[in-house]
Structure 1
Amino acid sequence: MSLEKTPILIVGAGPVGLSLAGDLAWRDVPSLLIERTDGAIQQPKMDMVGVRTMEFCRRWGIARDVEYSPYPRDYPQDNVWIESFAGVEFGREPMVSKEEEPYPPQSPQKRERCPQDMFDPILRRFVGRFPHAEIRYGTELLDFEELEDGVIADIGLPDGTFKKIAADYLVGTDGAASTVRHKLGIEMHGRPVLTYTTNVIFRCRDLPSLHDKGKAYRFIFIGPEGTWLTIVAIDGADRWRMSIVGNEEKRTIPEEEIRQIILRAMGKPFEFEIESIMPWVRRELVAESYGSGRVFLAGDSCHLTSPTGGFGMNTGIADAVDLAWKLEAVVKGWGGKHLLPSYTIERKPVAVRAVTEAGRNLKRMLSTRSKAPPPIAFVPGPEGEKERKAYGDWYTETMKAEWYSIGIHLGFNYYHSPVICPDGSPEPPDLVSDYRQTGRPGHRAPHVWLKDGRSSVDLFGRGFVLLRLSEDAPAVDGFVRHARRFDIPLTVVDLFDEPEMRALYGADLSIVRPDGHVGWCGDRLPTSPGDVLDILRGVKVSQEAQTPPDLAPSVETTTG
């Protein structure tokens, strides 16, 4: 059996695996990405690319591709709660199209609507730009053995033959049923079943012309039993995703019943074509560990969340970015022994936070089941209209946290990481619908529009960036000498004429990590600049951050 070699073997070519392969390649680190399927997407699992993910796309040079994907930029993004398309409307959250939506003050990008069957091809093209990154479809991980100096993987090939691949590191981005996680024996904790849900993709040409509710991204259907169905515009044209929300009872819904459900949602007969049906389980789970040694997990293989909020894929891509620069560091020799172990410490609390908030969003959406509309609200006329407005106003206010969640996407931090230098400052408010930028260590480095037209986030990504933000800032020769001695990628950037930068970053000096998070800051040079860099690259650990916060999920603790 032949033995092939690669620095990084990635298992699973969904958006997280593609992002990891792309970010590694962008960092000049070769990888092999394998996927057991042919890569075709029958059921797009996501359609919202969050603002932080868009900042990564900006870094990779593909933000414009996402912005101008086939999804129409003039399509309204309203969320509407109705009895049926032909029935009464309870309320809505009007939201402008992606073309009209303003950029948030905290970022040079904004969230985008780009379904997975449009987003994955963009990522595939990005990976394909690099000769040292390879994707192989129809190729399955069968088993692997972790050794002291690497990993030996047994691979099944499309022609039915087998081979062995030797890798320095292996990363499982292979989804909820992760072969890699099961092989490692890592348990998932939380709630293994929230609802048994069935997704149905159906086609109907110009569906908005068949009703009076107008174009909208998402319709939530509320009956006497409460919320029972959602329909979203997948492509802004003729494809629609219907989710039969379900409950904790597992059942298979026959196609004839699904057809009746579609007709109930419309409220009258109409022509449609069912394209695919996919039962799935809505879960709330986080892995005990994200791996260790030479094998790691990212994305759905280590956290599963309700899609209410759009946090799953975006959290997974942030996993990939955190892991990629650390793998680069160890492969190229400037990363220390504490760097890769910091991956779980940094990323697991982020997943717990996102999974918990998504669960809250689901509870909000399903709150109608315990507070269903009164019967009169389904009756046309003035009395019914009064009840509909009261109910709709309540539900609209209840659901706002799901529609406006920039704090979840930008507000996570690594302050307690052993490869961060904490400054003793207090924790800022952890908000859902707002985000207050801060230069506190561990947090995402703030965005500021510079006088030359760039965003400050454009400065970060390739290595460590040492910012000097005041003419009073001391010389940084000690940092530079240590970086040169150990081949640590460090760039010094002087921005003396950017007062907004100094105000937001809160210090004359700031070191930003390759992932765009602040690692250290101060007005004076540390006693040993070399020790600071050694902490940030994992050669040493921060004494102040050696006791991380409790990493147990804040959701229920059933083992899955």
Structure 2
Amino acid sequence: MAAEQPKAGPEVRFSSSRQWPGERHPTRWDVHDANESPAITFLDRFRAALLHTEGAEGDALHDADSVIDGAEHVDENSVRAYTYPVVMLSEVPTILSEDQMERLQELFFTSFNHIFTDAVDIANWPSNPLPPYLQYAIACLGAAASAPAYNAGAYTIANGTDQAEVAAGLFVAGARLWSVMLEVDNREARMLEAVIAASLLITYGVLSTDQAYQRMSSVLLCNVVTISRRLHLPEGCSPLYSSSDMPEKDVSRKSSLLSYLLLIDTIHALHYGLAPHFSRTELFIKMPSSNHQFRTLYNSLTHGYALPEDVRSREDGLLLLTVLLSDIIYMQRCHLSISFYTDSHVSAADKSSSNRMLPRNPYVPLTSQSEYSRLSADFLAALCRWEQYFQPHVGTDIIAFYYFVKLQLTCPELGRLPHLVGYGKAPTLSESQRNSSLHMEQIDIPDKAMDFAWLVLDKCDEHLQTPARNLPIWLPVILFLSALVAWKKLCSRPATGQKYGSLKVLGLTGLIVSQDPSNADTPRAHITNMAAIDCLRDIGVDKECYQVGTAGDTMVHTRWSNSMAGEEYARIYSWGNDPRRKGDYELASPSDPLDLPQTLLEPILIRYATMNGFKCRWDTKFVSFVQEPDEKGVTTTLHDKVTGQDYRVRSRYLFGADGARSPIMRHLEIPMIKRPDQGYAINILMEADMAHLMENRMGNLHWLLTPDKEHPDYAWIGCIRMVKPWHEWLCIIFPTFGAERKQRSPAEYVKRVHEFIGDDTVEVKIKGISTWMINETAAEAYSKGNVYCLGDAVHRHPPNHGLGSNTCIQDAHNLAWKVAFVDRGIAGSSLLDSYSIERQPVGLDVVTQANASLRNHKKIWEVLGNMEPTVAARVEAFNILKEDSERGRKRRADLQAALRMINREEHGLGIEMNQRYTSSAVHKSDQGPQPTFDSDPLEHYHPTTYPGARVPHVWLSKTIPSKAVSTYDLAGKAHFTLFTGIGGDGWRPAAAKVSSELSVPFKVYSIGFRQEYEDRYLDWARIRGVAESGCVVVRPDFFIAWRSQQWENDSPEKLLAVMKSVLSRS
């Protein structure tokens, strides 16, 4: 394959000597040159570089041999003549207290005084000693304070073009300062400079339509690669070198760390059209094979394993932090989908793929939208671990850099601030670019980021009295925090123009807190049934769930066998795949069952919540709460595990979805219905490639019983559950009853897992081990006052039937619309009482059935002989199954009966869909008796329109055939829905009157021949349970509130009275 050649114009030249453009950039200086002029102090070079940055874009495009040796070459007057557009902020309401703003300003200016006024003879300077863009930063800060707090020289606040420029300007100024604040004869400082320059390039300026800005970005990127080349260790192996330059020996750990960083730099350069002679394939081939040493060390940091003592040096800390930031930049870039290609830098062969992301970094997963929240939390946790391990070994400069990175990750929204470069004129954007730009109200800075900003200011306080040489490093941090303050202030205006269909629109805004550092780190719950998928469909995330989950043949069977590779005892169809039951599933819901591990579902839900009015704070622990008199609100005390600080949050409601050990339930002192302890089980999350075994063993649950072998008491029976086909699994092991509960060594677990797999050639890598209790517990009530609990906090049971997360999702779906309607004044507060009344019986039934199913599994274990105490007894009991005898026939019949019972679990459509509510939110007084079930209510779904039942799913379409629409697509979406038919025209004005009088969102649809929707398969006519002119009223959670057999003259009054009753309106 021919090497990819960049398209270099006359302004950007490549020389045969491999001298990159920008290698002698006017804003940088060479260590050798600087050291030959010892009379030039660091402050001189620093001052000159600051001043010379402005207006230097023309010079930057040449390989100049001159170096900065003072300020005499700078035309200070022309530099100062530039005027920056800044918005007038005097009308923006202040959200900071006066003392907070004064403190920020004091820190800001004190830093400047230490750097300049205490060390420079101001008498020899013009009227203002600060360089232009620093004056601009001060003007921005003064604007944020809505007061002329500092004499900013020529840079006064004036009307401008964009409110966001204040915050963006502060951020840019802070980031650019890093390139000159650091002692450049320090190799570590140069590496920091390279990474921060890359970060700045990615965040700002790379998409400008102004050609000069494209060239400037090119130069800056070349400089990044150049600095990295200069820094390579003597034994290192840079992908920038040809194959003849590569050493033939293994490289050290530090070298592989640096080679990894160099690869990132080179990929950036290649994709911007600046790296000659290399193709993507060659880049990856040239990576040192010994990089596994780095991966082991880096993965330890990112996955929470302890680092060896011998790697906790300053250099290791710096390299790890630098590479960590590279990965964070890569992750954020993928998430924000910023394209690096421009027509002027891409060859014709590459234009067809100009919108692709960077090629996959071999050690960082590509970041989809669903992974972003989880990866951000993982990186944030890795940064915290870095601080724990390396803070004692690195200096103040590195710690400041650490806080800068952590703050940027805590608040990724700043990566989407509007474009603003700190020099030259702003680029002229095309109409399409202006239309695609993010508006201010689309960016929100989490409160957690602001809290962390003030924490960093506390750190600045600690260092303000240190020697002057350590102070400059903190100035970019303070500038960055100033950007946060200004931007938060700009975004403090209330949002408008909301539409129905999201949490924010429902009127719900809130705060999600978790004591964990991130989303679930183990798969835990996985089977997502149709009832839960319908809830996810209601908020529009179902398609994303199907994209990341697994369905179809991969979950077709549940099996019992001696091992994964060994002989099979039995198998049954599961999760709707039985040919005799597929029709039942297709008629019950527009959705299909899905295997969606919790590790994949949680990021989707967190992202949806945080994009629709909610904020999320990790590492935050619940402490206590106090309910206010008359149920006016709840004050909750929280503990920030990062800062160690307690703080209080006042809200109207508190929701406890805090798991099986729920401290909120303990504070509520609600009694629990418990059964005796059922024992415990151990989850082993592992990687093991078993694809070669699965062709004839398709399925997602594999029960493993070894009656012919001795088994350890901690791993009597196993169940291997698919997580990602066919390389990631969860092995659940059940100890013998009464076995001592203690942690075993990884080697013991691997040995037992290999026995369950039955193929020693399969490499097993354990990713995590956890223990969970087999509970049979349900709460007697789900709420008290303004505190509501849901999920495992109120119903705890084993995973049989796959009902755990599904019940949690439906708890939330039931509660959300009620909270929103009460909060908006549409419903009376008594409506919320119906939550516990409706959901508590469902939770109790789920707990009972899940435990009954586990006991049914024990019958299979008994029939297969696994319950006997010795190998001889187990083998004898197992062999009875093969006998042509009465006891053999009875045992085989017992096995078949036990498998039929388990089939109720695997095809328990009834327990998933047959919930029927009785509460004030369901109007039944004018209905007849509730219809009875004509078959097993646990196994079969019985669709009905009787009030309190789930609205039946039927397929509808338009008169001219088009895409089929489900009744579930018309209902939900945060509104009530009324279905009627021919002769029911009067329901439409009646519903409009109800909507007007009660302010309740109401939609009306007519179904029937030549109506608004056609009854595609005549299922609605069969199942609606009312006359064509009657109506079925559906709540926002898909459950039926009321039905009327037919239209009558007093129907409008009835509908109004029913809705008042359902909404607890007097």
Structure 2 residue aligned with 1:168: 652
1:93-113 C-alpha deviation (Å, 9 max, x unpaired): 145999x97762111111111
Structure 2 residue aligned with 1:251: 741
Task: Find the partner of 1:529 among 1022, 1044, 1055.
Answer: 1055
Instruction: Decide whether aligned partners of structure 1 residues 476 and 211 sit closer, same or farther in structure 2, where only a CA change above 3 A counts.
Output: closer
Question: Partner of 1:85: helix, strand, or coil?
Answer: coil
Q: Does 1:506 align with 2:1037?
A: no
Distance 1:316 1:43 in 2: 18
Q: Does 1:448 align with 2:929?
A: no
Distance 1:539 1:246 in 2: 54
Q: Does 1:137 align with 2:618?
A: yes
Structure 2 residue aligned with 1:406: 909
Distance 1:381 1:363 in 2: 21
Matches within 5 A, 1:385-396: 393-396=896-899
Residue 300 of structure 1 and its aligned partner are, at CA, apart by 0.5
Contact 2:506/2:821 (8 A) holds in 1: no
Instruction: Decide whether aligned partners of structure 1 residues 182 and 328 sit closer, same or farther in structure 2, where only a CA change above 3 A counts.
Output: same
Structure 1 unaligned spans of 5+ = 4-12, 15-21, 541-560
Question: Partner of 2:653: helix, strand, or coil?
Answer: strand
Question: Partner of 2:863: helix, strand, or coil?
Answer: coil
Q: Does 1:189 align with 2:673?
A: yes
Which stretch of structure 1 is more off in the superposition, 498-507 or 338-347? 498-507
Q: Does 1:467 align with 2:956?
A: no
Residue 485 of structure 1 and its aligned partner are, at CA, apart by 1.6
Distance 1:187 1:382 in 2: 50
TM-score using structure 1 length: 0.85
Question: Partner of 1:283: helix, strand, or coil?
Answer: coil
Q: Does 1:436 align with 2:945?
A: no
Question: Partner of 1:450: helix, strand, or coil?
Answer: strand
Distance 2:857 2:881 in 1: 26
Matches within 5 A, 1:16-27: 24-25=503-504, 27=506
Distance 1:104 1:138 in 2: 42
Contact 2:526/2:597 (8 A) holds in 1: yes
Q: Does 1:48 align with 2:527?
A: yes
Residue 208 of structure 1 and its aligned partner are, at CA, apart by 4.2
Question: Partner of 1:320: helix, strand, or coil?
Answer: helix
Residue 90 of structure 1 and its aligned partner are, at CA, apart by 0.8
Letter paired with 1:90: Y
Task: Find the partner of 2:838 among 346, 353, 366.
Answer: 346
Matches within 5 A, 1:261-276: 261-267=752-758, 269-270=760-761, 271-276=763-768
Contact 1:23/1:321 (8 A) holds in 2: no
Distance 2:802 2:977 in 1: 31
1:116-158 C-alpha deviation (Å, 9 max, x unpaired): 111112222222332x221111122211111131011112123
Q: Does 1:419 align with 2:908?
A: no
Question: Partner of 2:534: helix, strand, or coil?
Answer: helix
Letter paired with 1:267: G
Structure 1 residue aligned with 2:859: 367
Distance 1:474 1:521 in 2: 15
1:264-304 C-alpha deviation (Å, 9 max, x unpaired): 31335343122211111010111111012211001011111
Question: Partner of 1:339: helix, strand, or coil?
Answer: helix
Structure 2 residue aligned with 1:111: 593
Question: Partner of 1:434: helix, strand, or coil?
Answer: coil
Letter paired with 1:263: H
Distance 1:370 1:97 in 2: 27
Structure 2 residue aligned with 1:154: 637
Distance 2:966 2:551 in 1: 27
Question: Partner of 2:855: helix, strand, or coil?
Answer: helix
Q: Does 1:242 align with 2:731?
A: yes
Which stretch of structure 1 is more off in the superposition, 286-295 or 318-327? 286-295
Letter paired with 2:758: G
Contact 2:550/2:594 (8 A) holds in 1: no
Distance 1:215 1:472 in 2: 51
1:154-196 C-alpha deviation (Å, 9 max, x unpaired): 1212322222111011100000111211111112212252221
Instruction: Decide whether aligned partners of structure 1 residues 72 and 369 sit closer, same or farther in structure 2, where only a CA change above 3 A counts.
Output: closer
Q: Does 1:302 align with 2:302?
A: no
Task: Find the partner of 1:217 among 674, 687, 700.
Answer: 700
Residue 382 of structure 1 and its aligned partner are, at CA, apart by 7.7
Instruction: Decide whether aligned partners of structure 1 residues 288 and 195 sit closer, same or farther in structure 2, where only a CA change above 3 A counts.
Output: same
1:372-429 C-alpha deviation (Å, 9 max, x unpaired): 3473686799869x98976764443231111101111111111x21221111232431
Letter paired with 1:118: L
Task: Find the partner of 2:820 among 319, 328, 331.
Answer: 328
Letter paired with 1:261: R
Residue 246 of structure 1 and its aligned partner are, at CA, apart by 3.0
Contact 1:345/1:417 (8 A) holds in 2: yes
Distance 1:391 1:263 in 2: 30
Q: Does 1:285 align with 2:777?
A: yes
Instruction: Decide whether aligned partners of structure 1 residues 244 and 171 sit closer, same or farther in structure 2, where only a CA change above 3 A counts.
Output: same
Residue 369 of structure 1 and its aligned partner are, at CA, apart by 4.3
Contact 1:155/1:163 (8 A) holds in 2: yes
Contact 1:196/1:247 (8 A) holds in 2: no
Which stretch of structure 1 is more off in the superposition, 246-255 or 300-309? 246-255
Instruction: Decide whether aligned partners of structure 1 residues 211 and 331 sit closer, same or farther in structure 2, where only a CA change above 3 A counts.
Output: closer
Structure 1 residue aligned with 2:30: none
Structure 2 residue aligned with 1:128: 610
Instruction: Decide whether aligned partners of structure 1 residues 301 and 248 sit closer, same or farther in structure 2, where only a CA change above 3 A counts.
Output: farther
Question: Partner of 1:398: helix, strand, or coil?
Answer: helix
Letter paired with 1:493: Y
Structure 2 residue aligned with 1:490: 1002
Q: How many percent of aligned residue pairs carry the same amino acid?
A: 25
Which stretch of structure 1 is more off in the superposition, 419-428 or 338-347? 419-428
Letter paired with 2:731: M
Distance 1:162 1:382 in 2: 66
Instruction: Decide whether aligned partners of structure 1 residues 409 and 96 sit closer, same or farther in structure 2, where only a CA change above 3 A counts.
Output: closer
Higher relative contact order (Cα pairs below 8 Å, separated by 6+ residues): 1
Q: Does 1:231 align with 2:720?
A: yes
Contact 2:624/2:636 (8 A) holds in 1: yes
Instruction: Decide whether aligned partners of structure 1 residues 23 and 474 sit closer, same or farther in structure 2, where only a CA change above 3 A counts.
Output: closer
Distance 1:289 1:199 in 2: 30
Structure 2 residue aligned with 1:6: none
Question: Partner of 2:548: helix, strand, or coil?
Answer: coil
Structure with max Cα Rg? 2
Structure 1 residue aligned with 2:1040: 518
Contact 1:79/1:217 (8 A) holds in 2: yes
Letter paired with 1:220: W
TM-score using structure 2 length: 0.46
Letter paired with 2:637: D
Q: Which has the higher strand share?
A: 1
Question: Partner of 2:531: helix, strand, or coil?
Answer: helix
Residue 493 of structure 1 and its aligned partner are, at CA, apart by 2.2
1:449-498 C-alpha deviation (Å, 9 max, x unpaired): 01232101111112111222232565464553243122122222222433
Q: Does 1:457 align with 2:949?
A: no
Task: Find the partner of 1:180 among 660, 664, 669.
Answer: 664
Contact 1:469/1:502 (8 A) holds in 2: no
Distance 2:916 2:694 in 1: 45
Residue 230 of structure 1 and its aligned partner are, at CA, apart by 0.7
Letter paired with 1:341: D
